[in-house]
Structure 1
Amino acid sequence: MTSRRLPAHVVRHGDLKAFAAGHEFRVVAPSLDDHAVLLRGEFRRERLRSGLILHTADTTDLYDLETCSVQEAGLTLSLFLDGGVTIWQGDRAFQMGRTTGDHGAIEAVMISRAQRETFRRQSMRGTHVRKVNITVLPHWLEESGLDAVADHRHAHAFSRTHLAAVRWRSSPRLLSLAEQMLAPPAFAPMLRKLYCESRAIDLITEALQVVAQSDQETDTPLRPRDLQRVRAVRDFIEAHLDDAVTLAALARHAGMSVSSLQRVFRAAQGTTVVDYVRSRKLRRAREALERDGLSVNEVAFLAGYASPANFATAFKRAFGVPPRNFRARV
């Protein structure tokens, strides 16, 4: 596969479809034609060598966007240097990168897919993302000597556990390598490819070392029954966003204890039940501002806030702009 760099500064719906050819890519929402500009910035995908794939992005979302595709079996290392999105692999949610206002440490995430799996991505308009993804296909691991990794049995077991994941605080070296891959020197194509390949191998080597040493902390997938319960809880929340639903009521609906619900929900969704409900109410309030032209006081009530000031604080923390300013620009 040759390098694909989409046109600088503009990424259209049709560009993304061509970029993800063979991966059953589609935009779930909103409904847009192929000429619609979805992102502004730089977007690149490149097969560095057989089984080693690099994807970099320095883009800003122009829509509240949800996309869906299918990913092959393999390991994917993700480093979000700026911004963040929510992704789903199958029924399992992962928060990638940092949310607006979060100035904590940058985390690296490694996710294992033991089989083909659906991939969904949700992001909000105005989100600026700078990221490096490296995907390693199974035959690359076999041919590249996974045995050379210290305590390789743990890393090998991780690579064969579907939707296992591990995250850790990125080292300064990891961040430096990612920055170099986002802005490689203006070498001739072959030299630039070798430059990125050497850094990708360094990144994967460090990631596999972390996986090998973090066996007891590896985030393993939930049982199908638990995933069904989480889906039922999500559906119940969606149907009762106007109500003051308690954790006890949600636990009863799912047929489990409150503590089990909190543990399973966080493992599946990457967030707590309370934060998930708050996020859904804030997103609905944002949609009401954008679509229905309601006042800030009205959407504060819709989101369950007695105080418009408290609502404004939560809204700005979630979306990076006060609701009054957001309404003015709609």
Structure 2
Amino acid sequence: MEPGSRTPTSIPKVVLTKTVIEENRRVIFSQNRFANSPILEGKLLHYEAPDAFTLYAGTSQDLVNTHVVSSIKPCVVLTIVLEGTLTFGYDDLEFQLDGSRCAEVLMVNLTHPVSFHRSIEKDNQLTKVNLVISPNWLKARLNRNERPYPFVQSHLNYLRQPINDDTLEVIKRILSCEQPSDLLGRLELESLSLQLIQQMFALVDLNTSTHKASKETPQSERIKRILHFIETHLEAPMSLDVLSARFSMSTSNLQRVFKDELGITVKSYIRQRRLHVAKTGLERGVLTVTEAAYEAGYNHPANFTNAFKKEFGVPPAKVVKHL
């Protein structure tokens, strides 16, 4: 693992983003109550194979020095950088990929929702490919006795590998594709994506750089769907009634299932996830304590401070990164 070493200065506050297509380019905007401005732009390809994987690829130009902090649901993520520097991480796991120094591919397995953070550095031109793979799609094709099976069972397992000639050829073909508008274009992207996935999983357990995380307790599909919904709606008001109606369960049944599988109440889980996202924002220098309190759903910073200290053992001011 190679943590990022460069720290941008004059950091705008970015927590959520949105994408706007303008003519033949995509512009990524910050989107929260503190800012609404473009942070990067470029010719970016975005293709989704429903219930299977999502592909992001292309070359972009960073427009400002900033950080992005958001949440990401369980998945397997492939990240390849051919040009520029990408500094990012999941919870406390950090990476820096530098395409000008060594073209590498990184595969990370996420069995739980995590906080994702990424540094954006002004004038950095980045050429990269991201594949976000559905764990259900992957596991439906994977037998327990196959070599990659243990890899997808443990949270934050990762494999980091220099790109070989075969992988580089597939990546270049992906980058040469236009946004598909017909069946043949979509099939080409899906075929290339599958080749990339196949090549990466062929390396699992054949390379000593594979990181072995502790094995996780399996979760039911129902709990996974509930956790996914919570993770993608952390910024919104959320109650037991809302969740119960969403998943056609009584509030008592929801509480029982949650407690049995996760050992925690629904309310406590939501509070913990919001606090962890806020902690990441504070550590990355993205948020002040007051802003983190608001993002975590607390109207009063004092209440946020008490909850934060109870969860992490220190007040939020102790983890703030001053830039």
Give, in angstroms, the shift of residue 39 of structure 1: 1.4
**Which position in structure 2 is the counterpart of 1:146?**
142
DSSP-derived class of the 1:217 partner: coil
- Which of 173, 182, 185 pairs up with 2:166? 173
1:15-73 deviations in Å (ceiling 9; x for gaps):
xx6xxxxxxxx69xxx532xx22212123332124221111131000001211111111
CA distance in 1, matches of 2:45, 2:62: 16
Gaps of 5+ in 1: 18-25, 223-230, 236-279, 285-330
Equivalent pair of 2:20/2:27 in contact (CA under 8 Å):
no
Give, in angstroms, the shift of residue 123 of structure 1: 2.0
DSSP-derived class of the 2:188 partner: helix
Equivalent pair of 1:90/1:118 in contact (CA under 8 Å):
yes
CA distance in 2, matches of 1:187, 1:10: 15
1:146-179 deviations in Å (ceiling 9; x for gaps):
249xx723x1111121111111110112112112
Give the letter aligned to residue 85 of structure 2. Answer: G
- Which of 188, 194, 197 pairs up with 1:201? 194
**Which position in structure 2 is the counterpart of 1:53?**
54
Give, in angstroms, the shift of residue 185 of structure 1: 5.4
Change (3 A) 1:147 1:211: same
**TM-score, length-scaled by structure 1:** 0.54
Spell out the pairing of 1:1-330 with structure 2 (5 A cutoff).
6-7=21-22, 8-9=24-25, 11-13=27-29, 31-33=34-36, 36-98=37-99, 103-143=100-140, 145-147=141-143, 152-153=146-147, 155-184=148-177, 188-214=181-207, 216-221=208-213
DSSP-derived class of the 2:156 partner: coil
1:81-112 deviations in Å (ceiling 9; x for gaps):
111221120121111334xxxx4331110001
CA distance in 2, matches of 1:186, 1:164: 31
Change (3 A) 1:164 1:120: same
DSSP-derived class of the 1:206 partner: helix
CA distance in 1, matches of 2:101, 2:56: 24
DSSP-derived class of the 1:194 partner: helix
CA distance in 2, matches of 1:12, 1:51: 24
| Structure with bigger RCO (C-alpha 8 Å, 6+ apart) | 2
Equivalent pair of 2:79/2:129 in contact (CA under 8 Å):
yes
Equivalent pair of 1:41/1:58 in contact (CA under 8 Å):
yes
CA distance in 2, matches of 1:172, 1:152: 25
1:260-287 deviations in Å (ceiling 9; x for gaps):
xxxxxxxxxxxxxxxxxxxx9xx96xxx
Change (3 A) 1:126 1:32: same
Give the letter aligned to residue 35 of structure 2. Answer: L
Equivalent pair of 1:13/1:32 in contact (CA under 8 Å):
no
CA distance in 1, matches of 2:68, 2:84: 17
Equivalent pair of 1:86/1:93 in contact (CA under 8 Å):
yes
Equivalent pair of 1:166/1:211 in contact (CA under 8 Å):
yes
Equivalent pair of 1:74/1:159 in contact (CA under 8 Å):
no
Change (3 A) 1:159 1:61: same
Aligned-residue sequence identity (percent) comes to 20
Give, in angstroms, the shift of residue 140 of structure 1: 0.9
CA distance in 2, matches of 1:192, 1:93: 35
CA distance in 1, matches of 2:83, 2:49: 24
Give, in angstroms, the shift of residue 190 of structure 1: 1.9
Q: Greater helix percent: which structure?
A: 1
Equivalent pair of 1:107/1:168 in contact (CA under 8 Å):
yes
